[in-house]
């Protein structure tokens, strides 16, 4: 027996009556398992286009079972309006119709009468469920719902938001998962997944827009998105447009697909730190010509941001604005590594003159912005290119605009750099004996190759460092993905001349 969704439900007695009426319809074992720990439960079997129901939990905790049967031939709407701010346990939403949506609205008669808490909202059966939610407190997990829209959660989401669909999902189609026009006052502590189940792996050619399997649009999270200790992720294989968060602590990417980032604002205006503490990987940036600041980070970028394609659209204003840069911003990390850096990137209010900007990493906060393949970052090298030293240095630092790596596992492998010397009197370049120095990537700054002389380097020579481009130990860009390209070619030189004055007393160029 089913309950007409137009019936108003109020109080425990009515809920017990409903439970007796529908127990046989939904399976007594399922009911007993689902209501464990709750005072009561209510069941709504939606028949017809729309329903309006109101319930009062009477101070107890209630589970809700929301059903739409198959074969109705239309979209069904169930609107539940709460009073007295009930505490809700689990909400199970079952759409058995493979064609038409089940639209559920759960709101309060007033803001104060909205649900005070919800432990779980979970879809089962078909996943074509659209949900509008208004609460005055926390929500646990939202799972197996296709769409969350026009929602306001005045508290935290202590678990995950997983908006997913199954079956035949067409890229950009009406049945792709999406989260639109939503606000969370506090934190979203778990994952944010807006992606179909079993997403197909489709290679995307450069210059062609990636397939859209998920959309996040006009979403505000006042506190943290994700928890570092949980290893939280944001998985959106499609577009993120206008996402505002107080702090980003979840790794953001498109999962099996590609993420196009068309508006990320990590702000301090909602009380958060404005920091990004977890990595971001996106296919590209997309923005209308009148809307600058595709990525805006008010605080510190403490992780890496990797962009596969170009940063362009400089006519729109600053494309990327970062308060303080402690991590790496990597541009053009996708094959075939022919991207361009044309759009403005600002750090601390100063626009960098990329891709070979003269600013030191220390002046930016310790990080760097680099276009793949990474070039030599002259301002961060020590000694500066062309410097004349009066004695052998204890360490040589060869810096790049992005992180670098080489295969150091082979004990007899070649060094990541070629270290050469030439007499000031002229002659050919001679390779410095490998036993005379050690070369490795700095643990504290993975953009820097450190060369440590093990003996005194002789005076009267020009010294030249070039990246090794041969073999497993070749110096490569340390970027995610199956291909790590060689760094850009360069020749970094300095001079050791015992007759030269000390640095600061008149250094001459060795260029």
Task: List the chain pLDDT tens, one digit each, 511 residues.
Answer: 223 333 333 333 334 433 333 332 333 222 222 333 344 667 777 765 555 555 555 566 788 888 888 777 778 888 888 888 888 999 999 988 888 889 999 999 899 889 999 999 999 877 789 999 999 999 999 999 999 999 999 999 999 999 998 767 778 778 899 999 999 999 999 999 999 987 766 545 444 567 889 999 999 999 999 999 999 999 999 999 999 999 999 999 998 778 998 889 999 999 899 999 999 999 888 755 545 568 999 999 999 999 998 887 545 556 899 999 999 999 999 888 888 898 889 999 999 988 999 999 999 999 999 999 999 999 999 999 999 999 999 999 999 999 999 987 665 456 899 999 999 999 999 999 999 999 999 888 899 999 999 999 999 999 999 999 988 889 999 998 889 999 999 999 999 998 877 654 434 433 3
- The C-alpha atoms of residue 274 and residue 266 are separated, in whole angstroms, by 5
pTM attached to this predicted model: 0.86
Place of tokens 């912005």: 369
pLDDT of residue 208: 58
Q: Which residues of 269-304 are buried (b: 16+ CB within 10 A; e: fewer)?
A: ebebbbbbbbbbbbbbbbbeeeebbbbbbbbbbbbb
DSSP run (H or E) holding 66: strand 61-68
Do residues 134 and 106 touch, judged by C-beta distance below 8 A? yes
Do residues 169 and 237 touch, judged by C-beta distance below 8 A? no
DSSP letter string over 68-110? E-TT--S-EEEEEEE-S--EEEEEEEEE--SSS-EEEEEEESS
**Measuring CA to CA, which residue among 384, 387, 391, 383 is closest to residue 458?**
391
pLDDT of residue 52: 55
pLDDT of residue 503: 54
pLDDT of residue 257: 78
Do residues 368 and 361 touch, judged by C-beta distance below 8 A? yes
pLDDT of residue 26: 32
**Measuring CA to CA, which residue among 478, 476, 489, 497 is closest to residue 383?**
497
pLDDT of residue 413: 56
- The C-alpha atoms of residue 67 and residue 151 are separated, in whole angstroms, by 21
First to last CA, the chain: 89
pLDDT of residue 188: 98
DSSP letter string over 241-257? EEEEEEEE-SEEE-TTS
Output the CA–CA distances (angstroms, integers) from residue 27 to 32, 149, 282, 431, in the order listed: 9, 31, 45, 80
Number of H helices, E strands in the chain: 3, 38
């Amino acid at each position: 027996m089913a309950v007409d969704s137009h019936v108003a439900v109020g109080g425990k007695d009515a809920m017990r009556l409903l439970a007796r009426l529908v127990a046989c319809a939904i399976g007594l074992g399922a009911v007993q398992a689902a209501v464990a720990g709750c005072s009561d439960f209510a069941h709504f079997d939606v028949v017809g286009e729309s329903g309006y129901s109101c319930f009062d939990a009477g101070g107890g905790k209630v589970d809700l079972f929301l059903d739409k049967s198959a074969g109705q031939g239309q979209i069904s709407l169930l609107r539940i309006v709460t009073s007295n701010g009930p505490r809700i346990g689990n909400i199970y939403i079952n759409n058995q119709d493979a064609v038409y949506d089940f639209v559920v609205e759960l709101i309060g008669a007033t803001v104060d009468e909205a649900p005070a808490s919800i432990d779980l909202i979970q879809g089962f059966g078909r996943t074509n469920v659209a949900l509008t939610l208004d609460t005055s407190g926390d929500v646990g997990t939202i799972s197996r719902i296709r769409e969350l829209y026009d929602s306001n959660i005045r508290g935290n989401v202590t678990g995950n938001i997983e908006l997913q669909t199954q079956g035949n999902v067409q890229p950009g189609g009406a049945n792709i998962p999406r989260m639109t026009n939503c606000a969370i006052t506090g934190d979203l502590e778990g994952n944010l997944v807006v992606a179909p189940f079993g997403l197909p792996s489709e290679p995307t050619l450069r210059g062609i827009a990636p397939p859209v399997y998920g959309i996040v649009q006009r979403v505000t999270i006042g506190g943290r998105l994700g928890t570092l200790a949980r290893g939280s992720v944001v998985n959106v294989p499609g577009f993120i447009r206008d996402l505002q968060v107080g702090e980003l602590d979840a790794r953001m990417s498109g999962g099996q697909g590609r993420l196009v980032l068309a508006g990320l604002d990590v702000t301090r205006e909602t009380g958060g730190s404005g920091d990004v503490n977890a990595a971001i990987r996106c296919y590209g940036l997309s923005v209308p010509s009148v809307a600058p600041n595709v990525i805006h980070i008010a605080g510190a970028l403490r992780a890496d941001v990797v962009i596969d394609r170009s940063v362009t659209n400089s006519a729109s204003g600053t494309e990327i604005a970062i308060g303080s840069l402690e991590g790496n911003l990597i541009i053009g990390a996708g094959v075939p590594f022919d991207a361009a850096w044309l759009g403005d990137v600002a750090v601390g209010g100063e626009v960098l003159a990329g891709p070979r900007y003269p600013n030191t990493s220390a002046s930016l906060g310790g990080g760097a912005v680099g276009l793949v393949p990474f070039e030599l970052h002259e301002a961060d090298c020590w000694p500066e290119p062309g410097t004349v030293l009066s004695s052998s240095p204890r360490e040589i630092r060869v810096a790049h605009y992005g992180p670098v790596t080489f295969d150091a596992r082979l004990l007899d492998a070649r060094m990541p750099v070629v270290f050469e010397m030439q007499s000031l009197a002229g002659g050919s370049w001679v390779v410095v004996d490998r036993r005379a120095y050690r070369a490795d990537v700095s643990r504290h700054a993975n953009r820097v190759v450190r060369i440590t002389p093990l003996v005194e380097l002789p005076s009267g020579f020009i010294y030249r460092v070039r990246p090794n481009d041969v073999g497993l130990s070749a110096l490569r860009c340390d970027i995610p993905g199956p291909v790590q390209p060689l760094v850009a070619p360069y020749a970094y030189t300095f001079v050791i001349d015992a007759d030269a004055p000390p640095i600061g007393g008149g250094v001459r160029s060795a260029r």
